[in-house]
Amino acid sequence: MDYFGQLLANGLVLGAIYALTAVAYTLVYGVVRLVNFAFGELFMLGAFLTVSLMASEVQLFGATVPMPALSFPLAALVAIALTALLGIIIDYLAYRPLRKAPRLAPLISSIAVSVVLQSVAQTIWGSEQVHFPDFGLADLDPIVFFDSIYIRVMDIVVMAAAILAMIGLSLFIAYSKLGRAMRASAEDPMAATLLGIPVNRAIAAAFALGSGFAALAGLLYAQSYGFAHATMGFSARPQGVDGSSAGRHRLDSRRGFGRRAARPDRSLGRRLYAGWIRL
């Protein structure tokens, strides 16, 4: 029992972060039907930006740049905002010009964006794993259930944050004006345009939200495991020092999972969109 229970607990923590990533991923996929390979890089940037903002200074190309040394929640918020902004910029530069292009073109340009972001992150933050500073809660003793199932306080916080974020997002998509515009653009961009919905702005909003959530997932992940790494996001890289070839396809699993998680949102979207038309 304790063996199974511990595995169950482990799985729940991992699953909460996966699910959050999947939801964030789905947001963009659902609206523009783009398999966004650069998504993992935003995940990574969320973590790195948080680390940097929490530090008092960072080394940039050999020069020391003073940083604000924010507290964790504040740094996290700023990092999420910055990543969301980056999401919009990426959409504007690399995807929007290709909206009418053959379907594989944006896929390739998203791979290119992913490669660029990863290389840049490595130039800035180096190739080593960066220790993610422990937030006060991490030092608390793990909570022990039934004498044998250990769960860290931090993991509970991470899970709660992930679940809250997901609920918040669902409500936003379902009831806010922008959320409805996003769903309408997803269903039929042409019809949405005709109805006076600014489709490009809705898509940009989806990118911003999706990127922000990716950043949130990334920093929660980094917080849970205590490190950040330039390649933690997109790990479809040949793996292996010393002949090893290891697999880190979490993102791909997530990607697949995202697809599945996408369904309820979209069928919900369809119904609500029908409502929108009737209005």
Partner 1 sequence: MLLGLIEALGGGYMPDGSAYKDAISFAILILLLFMRPQGLLGRPELNSAGAGSLLDGVGSAGKGAIHALFGRMDAAFGWLAQGGWTIKFAALAIAILAGLLIPSDYWLRILTMVLIYGMLASGLNVIVGFAGLLDLGFVAFWAVGSYFTSILFVLVLKQEFGIDAQSIWWLFYANLVIGGLLSAFIAMILGTPTLRLRGDYLAIMTLGFGEIVRIVATNWIGLTRGPMGIPNVPAPFLFGLQVKSPTAFYFVALALTVVILFAISGLVRSYIGRAWVAIREDEHAAEAMGVATARYKLYAYAVSGFVGGFVGVFYAHYQLFISPLNFSLFENIVILMLVVLGGLGTFIGPFIGALIWVVFLQLALDIPLVQNFPEIRFALLGVILMCLMLFRPQGLAATARVKLTMPGAGMERA
Partner 2 sequence: MARRRFAAAAFGLCLALGPAAGQAADTVTIGFTAALSGDYAAYGVNMKKGVDLAVETLNKKGGVTYKVEAVDDRAEAREGVLIAQRFCSDQAVNVVMGYSVSSIALAAMPVYNDCKLPVLASAVTSPALSNSSPYFHRNVLTDAVQGAMMGTYAVKSLGLKKIYVLHQQDDYGIGVSKAFSDAAVKEGATIAGTEAYLLGDKDFRTLLTKVRAAKPDAIFVGGFYTETAAIAKQARQLGIKVQFLSTDGALNEALMKLGGNAVENMVIYGMFDPSIKTPSTADFLTAYQATYKEEPSAWAALGYDATMTLGAAVDLASKSGGVTREAINTAFSQLKDVPGVTGPTTFEPSGDRSGSLYFLTVKNGKFVLAPAQM
Interaction of residue 109 with partner 1, rule CB under 8 A: yes
Segment lying near partner 1 (by CB under 8 A), choices 100-108, 149-157, 202-210, 220-228: 100-108
Segment lying near partner 1 (by CB under 8 A), choices 93-101, 131-139, 148-156, 208-216: 93-101
Interaction of residue 12 with partner 1, rule CB under 8 A: yes
Q: Which residues bind partner 2 (CB under 8 A)?
A: 3, 6-7, 10-11, 13-14, 119, 122, 126-129, 131, 134, 142, 144, 150, 152, 225-227, 231-232, 235, 237-248
Interaction of residue 193 with partner 1, rule CB under 8 A: no
Strands (E), the chain: 57-60, 63-66, 130-131, 143-145, 149-151, 227-228
Q: Between 118 and 185, whose beta carbon lies closer to partner 2?
A: 118
Chain centre to alpha carbon of residue 1: 34
* Contact (Cβ atoms closer than 8 angstroms) between residue 38 and residue 90: yes
d(CA 1, CA 41): 39
- CB of residue 46 vs partner 2: minimum separation in angstroms? 16
Interaction of residue 19 with partner 1, rule CB under 8 A: yes
Site for partner 1 in 239-258 (CB under 8 A): 239-240, 243-249, 252-257
Q: Between 66 and 238, whose beta carbon lies closer to partner 2?
A: 238
Contacts of 187 (CB under 8 A, 6+ apart): 269, 270, 273
Please report, as a single letter, which amino acid is at residue 86. L
- CB of residue 179 vs partner 1: minimum separation in angstroms? 20
| 69 dihedral zone (left: phi>0; alpha: psi -120 to 50; beta) | left
* Contact (Cβ atoms closer than 8 angstroms) between residue 221 and residue 47: yes
d(CA 131, CA 158): 18
Residues 218-237: x where in contact with partner 1 by CB under 8 A, - otherwise, as a string: ------------------xx
Interaction of residue 100 with partner 1, rule CB under 8 A: yes
Residues counted in the chain: 279
- CB of residue 111 vs partner 2: minimum separation in angstroms? 15
* 17 HSE (CA, 13 A, CB side): 23
State residue 57 phi and psi, 5-degree precision: -155, 155
Q: Between 183 and 254, whose beta carbon lies closer to partner 2?
A: 254
Q: Kindly state the DSSP code that residue 92 receives in the 8-state scheme.
A: I
Interaction of residue 73 with partner 1, rule CB under 8 A: no
- CB of residue 177 vs partner 2: minimum separation in angstroms? 37
CA 111 → CA 36, 139, 185, 248, distances in Å? 8, 39, 24, 17
| SS3 (DSSP) at 179 | helix
Interaction of residue 271 with partner 1, rule CB under 8 A: no
- Residues binding partner 1 (CB under 8 A): 3-4, 7-8, 10-19, 33, 35, 37, 93-94, 97-98, 100-109, 111-116, 118-120, 122-123, 127, 236-240, 243-249, 252-257, 259-264, 266-267
